[in-house]
Structure 1
Amino acid sequence: MKSTKINISSFPNYWKNLSNWSNRFQYVAILYPQQITQYPFGAFPKCIAVGNKKLNLNPPYFQSLKEFLQKNPDKNLYGYLGYDLKNELEKLNSDNPSSIDWSPMSFFEPTCIIRFENNEITIESNDLEYFQKDIQKVLSQEKEENIFTPSIKNLQSWTSKKDYIKTVKTLRQHIEEGDIYEINYCINFSASVKNFDALQIFQKLSKESPAPFASFLKMDKQYIISASPERFIKLKDNKIISQPIKGTARRGRTESEDLENKDRLSESEKERAENMMIVDLVRNDLAKSGKTGSVKVEEIFGIYSFQQVHQMISTISAIKKKEIHPVDIIKNAFPMGSMTGAPKISAMELIEQYENSKRNVFSGSIGYFNGENQFDFNVLIRSIYYDEQTQTINYQVGSAITYDSDAEAEYEECLLKAKAIEKTLGII
């Protein structure tokens, strides 16, 4: 791709103007990192990618993606990995009902990428003259946009509090019997919507819940609106990075209460045990792709604060084996242990048994490839999923269940994680 730079310091509405401009394309990826101070190994790069050409991927999807990148090693790609890709990796299934149906994997090849850094944007395209002229015009626009207030109807929680507590008690029995050590149990909410502008909802969610891996993805008529705080996996300069989140505490109403909640999370034996189990799982996943002896825990039990919650985050790294393909690195770690539990296969079997809705892309990942040997993917949590054709949305939340879990407290944690989404949608 050819490239050119434009200084944007004299365009105060540059971000909103360019975001709105992107929506004219069939496929759109917006990466909008926030709250990234001292985040280990950085966050998503701030960028907008647009295009009208989706990859023709077929089962087995990971192999199909790998073959495309082997033939096109310099391509930029943006898209998602759905949780149900697990079914092509293990003898698993996904038979629960769903409010929105998604393809297990979807990527597009952008015709234009806008990268943001300080007071400049870099425009990359093979049709540079056209896009430079068009973007220059868009930057100068001062026209007021229409503000849409979504109408949410038939909001449904697929799991009652009573059923949630009953299921958690059953899952604790599985833990006591040695079937699993930990499981990420999730619940689903869905609704019918009208007057729903996905891009405006993304801008609002980003304000309500700023996050280092926030992203917006438009694939045909389906949208993912994400305020994800979690990185699944990154590859850069042959170094593999994974940063699982396990451990959550509410932000305090006062500075002293906030500090107290943060300290309590840091010192919690339960939260540390949850985090350590997933660290061990991730170490094992990265060892499949990393050089012998290169797997390293860079940070354990780190506490990071976001607008709604404090989170316990650990960072694990490895040096890529020379012979392994980047797509196989993702495949070897998918789905992420923070959204399954341990052991991973047993946990996924029980997730299918006890959750009452299909996860689809929830607990999958949005990400990108900058050529064959560089990628970064988030964990799809704190996200809204919207189907424009059926006028349906859904969102899912969950928490890690261990033997020490208190069902009431876990349910309250789920509601806390849903708070920013529900505030954005005008439900609360």
Structure 2
Amino acid sequence: MTMVLTVKETIVVKRQILKWAEKQSEVICYLDSNYYQADQYSAYEALIAVGAEKELCLKRSGNAFQCLQAFAKENQEWLFGHLSYDLKNDVEALTSQNKDVLEFPELYFFVPSYLFLFNQDGTLEILSKQESPKKIWKAIKDFSSTDDNAENSMISIQQMFSKDAYMDTIHQIRQHIIDGDTYEMNFCQEFFAENVSINPVRLFDTMNQIAKAPFATYYQIKDQHLLCGSPERFLCKRGNQLISQPIKGTIKRGQSQEEDEVLKHQLRASIKDQAENVMIVDLVRNDLTKVCQTGTIQVAELFGIYGFERVYQMISTVVGELQEHKNWVDALEATFPMGSMTGAPKVISMELIEEYEKTKRGIYSGAVGYVTPNGDFDFNVVIRSLLYNRSKQYLSFQVGGAIVYDSEPEAEYEECLLKAKTMLEALGISTLDRTTSSVH
């Protein structure tokens, strides 16, 4: 079943389907481009996958990518799911010992029972093996949400690092750089709240209206919820072309068009941000050599400046042609975790991340996305996200940045708060206590 929708109708229908989906299943993957016009590689305006006909769920693994290869071979159809950051332990001789309260699976993929494809030409396709599209559409139109007025509980945010502890850690990481252990390391800190009751769909809707991110995601696996406002693509495949778009370099938006232009120029001219960006571009190019045809890897764009609702980002684009005998699982395994969330060199940076961070990353700085029946795919980088474990009533978000030799601890801390702004605004929190911490 296919129908044509206007932009205004599409925005309403997306939200209506998500509210309906919440009552149908505890497995949902909603991917929203939010009409972001600057993304030339996006194939859909939005996709909403509901219910799991088949699933691959690995809570802890040592052979995740082998299992995913088998699942992909058995199910050459639409697939949705995620890769946890801690799959690093499958691709390298690494471990994860830090605390994990959220408890997302390390890897989860599913074949959806219902699939809604919002095409870029304004058409909506409804696919299902269980019921007729007309019956599904009627159920959605007739659906009336009963908990629209459900309020989120009062939320008190705590920090794993005090500001002083965070800044001291930056000094320690810089010493590793001075000693030559690493050139660049992505360091993140967690903000969290306990005994929290929220309406995840409603909170995501609020957050999505604030951020309007091109890789926005509402993702639910039973009690685990991801509310994501990511601006970053990890990796996508179109035909035999692979595209990676690492982000390194962030600056706030201005209060006027004139101030915007000044800030854009400031970011574009920043030697520090260029250095961060080019190191990750080189890392991505190196990762892609494992699965791309020799001589096909190119930097399609270096230091592109892209505007979002709250910030400007420096984004580079690296492309390559996938080798004929490689598939989408090979491509993900070769490039995961993404360099923008690790550092360079990659392995030592991940060892230092484990040493200095206090929280297991889990799905944060992992990837969520879809795979088509012909093996094309698109996966985001899970950043700018709220994470929620409903049974434990634990709400969390992490923010961080690339630490290099030129990093100033105060500036890095302020950048973290800038990246946290969307999540805090969605939660109705205007300021954070920057001096206290609570580690438990």
Measured against the shorter chain, the TM-score band is: over 0.9
CA contact (8 A) 2:367 2:379 kept: yes
Specify the alignment match of 2:232 in structure 1: 230
Mapping for residues 179-190 of structure 1, pairs under 5 Å: 179-190=181-192
Residue of 113, 121, 125 corresponding to 2:124:
121
Structure 1 unmatched runs, 5+: none
CA distance in 1, matches of 2:36, 2:75: 32
Aligned length: 423
Mapping for residues 130-169 of structure 1, pairs under 5 Å: 131-139=133-141, 146-169=148-171
CA contact (8 A) 1:304 1:313 kept: yes
CA distance in 2, matches of 1:35, 1:134: 25
**Offset, 1:327:** 0.3
CA distance in 2, matches of 1:137, 1:98: 38
**Offset, 1:235:** 1.0
CA contact (8 A) 1:185 1:401 kept: yes
Specify the alignment match of 1:392 in structure 2: 394
**2:349 paired with 1:352:** no
Q: Deviations over 1:177-233 (max 9, x none)?
A: 110000000000111254411111111111111111111111111111100000000
Specify the alignment match of 1:15 in structure 2: 14
Taking structure 2 as the reference length, what is the TM-score of the superposition? Answer: 0.92
More divergent stretch after superposition (150-159 vs 311-320) = 150-159
Partner amino acid for 1:116? Answer: F
Structure 2 unmatched runs, 5+: 431-440
**Offset, 1:35:** 5.2
CA RMSD of aligned residues (A): 1.8
Specify the alignment match of 1:26 in structure 2: 26
CA distance in 2, matches of 1:8, 1:305: 27
Secondary structure class of the residue paired with 1:270: helix
**2:83 paired with 1:66:** no
Mapping for residues 17-416 of structure 1, pairs under 5 Å: 17-24=16-23, 25-34=25-34, 36-42=36-42, 45-58=45-58, 59=61, 60-73=63-76, 75-117=77-119, 118-129=121-132, 131-139=133-141, 146-371=148-373, 373-416=375-418
CA distance 1:148–1:194, shift in 2 (3 Å): farther
**Offset, 1:119:** 4.3
CA contact (8 A) 2:56 2:71 kept: no
CA contact (8 A) 1:188 1:395 kept: yes
CA contact (8 A) 1:26 1:51 kept: yes
CA distance in 2, matches of 1:309, 1:149: 29
CA contact (8 A) 2:194 2:394 kept: yes
CA distance 1:296–1:174, shift in 2 (3 Å): same
Specify the alignment match of 2:3 in structure 1: 6
CA contact (8 A) 2:197 2:390 kept: no
Q: Deviations over 1:48-73 (max 9, x none)?
A: 11113452345311110111112222
**Offset, 1:133:** 1.1
CA contact (8 A) 2:337 2:366 kept: yes
Q: Deviations over 1:234-258 (max 9, x none)?
A: 1120100000000001111222222
Identity %: 39
Partner amino acid for 2:367? Answer: S
Secondary structure class of the residue paired with 1:52: strand
**Offset, 1:45:** 3.9
CA contact (8 A) 2:20 2:145 kept: no
Taking structure 1 as the reference length, what is the TM-score of the superposition? Answer: 0.95
Partner amino acid for 2:153? Answer: S
CA contact (8 A) 1:99 1:190 kept: no
More divergent stretch after superposition (187-196 vs 343-352) = 187-196
CA contact (8 A) 2:148 2:202 kept: no
**Offset, 1:166:** 0.5
CA distance in 1, matches of 2:51, 2:297: 37
CA contact (8 A) 2:250 2:312 kept: yes
